[in-house]
Every structure is written in C-alpha cells, then in structure tokens.
Copies of this chain bind each other. A is one copy, B any other.
Amino acid sequence: MSDARPPGNGRVTIKEVAERAGVSRSTSSRALAGTGYVAEPVRQRVRRAAEELGYVVDATARSLKQRSSRIIGVLVSDLRNAFYADLAYGAGRRAREAGFTMMLVDDGGRADEELEAAHAFVASRVAGVIVTPVSDGAAEFLRRQHMPLVEVDRVFGNGDAVVIDNRHAARTTTEHLLSLGHRRIALVIDETDWTTGRERRQGYEDALVAAGLELDPELVVSAGWNADATEQVARSLLAGPDRPSAVFAANNLLAEGVWRGAMDLSLRLPDDLSLVAFDDAPWMSMVTPGITAVTQDATRLGAEAVGRLLDRIADPTSPARVITIPAGFQRRQSTSRPAS
C-alpha cells in the first residue's frame, strides 16, 4: 500500500517484489502472471509483497518480450454518431471481458487519418484491429503487416467481417411501404461505393422489381455527410407536386435531414409523407409521430467483431468468415398508406 520508490527512477519493479517476498525474480514472474508451477504459499507471499509495494507490471516491457500487447485497436468514423459510439461501447466491453484494453481512434471518415491510425496501431503492437473502413488503404496496410483484422459494418477486403444484413433488411422495409400502397418510394442514401449503401440500395431495388415496378433513377437521391446538407437535398426532393409518397432514408443522419426538410415544408407525417429510417436513433421514438426504423444492434456488432478478432488471433490460419447479423424492425407511426 505504501508507495515505495527505492532506486533511481520511481516505479517498483519485479526485482523489488521478489526481494521483499524472498524469492527469485523468475518465481515472482510465474506467481504474478500465473504461468508455470508455483506453490500456493509462495504465490500468496509474492502477491502480498506486490500489493504492499504498489507494484504494477510494466506492460511495455512485457509486450516487448512477448511481441504483442493485450490491446485491441478500434477505428471508427465518428464517435459523435450514436451508431459508432454504441459500436465502440460493445467492442470495449467485450475486449475488457477478455482481458484486453481498447485503443480507440476516430478518423473522421478520412482515409488519411485512417491510415495514420493504422500505423499507430502497428507501432503499439496491438493484438488486433477492428475497423469501420472508409477506404481500402488501412486494411491493406494492416494485412501487409500481418495484423489480425476484422472489418465491421462495411467491408472493403475479403477477410473477416461483421455486418448487418443490409440487403434483406432494406428489401423487407421497402416491401413494408409497398404493402401499404406506396408506389413512388424515394431512397435517400449517402454513398453507394460502400458495401453498406450498395446493399441497401440493392435491397430497395429487389423489392421494387419483385413488385413489378419501374426503377426511377430520379427517386434515388444521394446526400452528403451531415444532417444540414441532407435537409437541403430533402427540400428539393419533397418540394415538387410529383413528390414521392414515401421516403426511405438509409441511415440515421439522413433520416434526420429528411425529417427536418419535411418539417420545413410543413408536410405532415404520415398523411403527406411516410418516412422510414435505416438505423434507429433515440429521437425517433420521441418525436410525434414516431419514426418507423430498421434497428441495428451496434453494440452487438462491436462485441461480435471483437469476438471474431479474438478467434482470429488464436488461430491466424483459419479461413476468413463474414458474420451477418440480422436487423430488427421497429414499426412506428410515420408510415401508413398514402393519402390519395
């Protein structure tokens, strides 16, 4: 308990613990790390000595010797977005359960910062990395460095990944609108270069095609990265007389933008417009009417990714796996049959 700072520097080392416990350094190491044989009374003595001296193992020294740390790198696009925050939460919790700590970096959706973060992870000799990729640069770099890697939510490479069943969820959601009687259904989406967007768009098209409808390119609108920009896009989409009777927003930020745009135009949900969002957010259950949404368990996504990563670390040669997690569906009041 007392803070002892015997030699030059300051921190207690295992050598002092060993001396205090009256054993050798080897034995202390075994007793503390729990590897190899140690008689119970000796283990007790060592542990007590460590406690009394306030000894804390030097993970940098241990990592150097063992050539890997007990740290997992997590790389997300935007912590301020609840989706990523939840994902990081799930990843961190699962990692801690397994005795790992999380090193978290927010790359702001920028490829250069993503690569820089990957570099930092390798430098820190993390045991593995979870990433919601924005380009293939980081993943490629990490693979070249033989770093265990799991992509989450989106996938660029052909390694391990954990994703939502985007296509299927988008299809059934679109079918929900169709079954209500909608025929002009707009899709507001950000980025179709990514698997996430591509799959969601594909699910949307699957449903329309299956219903025998023509695909109208004008109804697929791409919007930017924040709610403000989307609000503008939504206003022009919804302003005309031939506006769609329903909008499917492909993520929570887009949904917010569309919702605000609709408010600006004094459109009433669901009478004037049906709205459904991919990815639930707290506000969707609080506004009136509540917004129907596809729910993604981001926390689980993060946890599963870490789980897969731990398996990968344990067995570096097993074949790559893509884990698909089903999405949920939360029907609320923002969707109903079209007015006319």
Contact = CB atoms under 8 A, between A and B. Distances in A.
A284 to B, nearest CB: 9
A264 to B, nearest CB: 13
A60 interface: yes
Interface in A5-63: 9-11, 54, 56-61, 63
A125 B58 contact: yes
Given A79-B92, A283-B287, A287-B288, A101 B120 contact: yes
Contacts of A221: none
A88 B104 contact: yes
Given A104-B102, A286-B259, A57 B123 contact: yes
Contacts of A250: none
Chain A, interface size category, equals 35 or more
B259 A56 contact: no
Q: Which of A54, A63, A71 has the most CB of B within 10 A?
A: A63
Contacts of A78: 89
Interface string A204-225: 0000000000000000000000
A319 interface: no
A305 B166 CA distance: 39
A158 interface: no
Contacts of A3: 144-145
A327 to B, nearest CB: 19
A92 B80 contact: no
A220 to B, nearest CB: 26
Contacts of A57: 123
* Nearest 6 CB-CB pairings of A with B: A283-B283, A85-B85, A60-B63, A79-B89, A104-B104, A59-B123
10 contacts: A11-B145, A59-B125, A71-B103, A80-B82, A80-B86, A92-B106, A96-B105, A103-B103, A104-B104, A286-B286
Given A60-B60, A92-B104, 16 more contacts: A3-B144, A10-B146, A11-B67, A58-B123, A58-B125, A59-B124, A78-B89, A79-B86, A79-B88, A80-B86, A93-B106, A101-B117, A102-B103, A102-B104, A104-B104, A288-B288
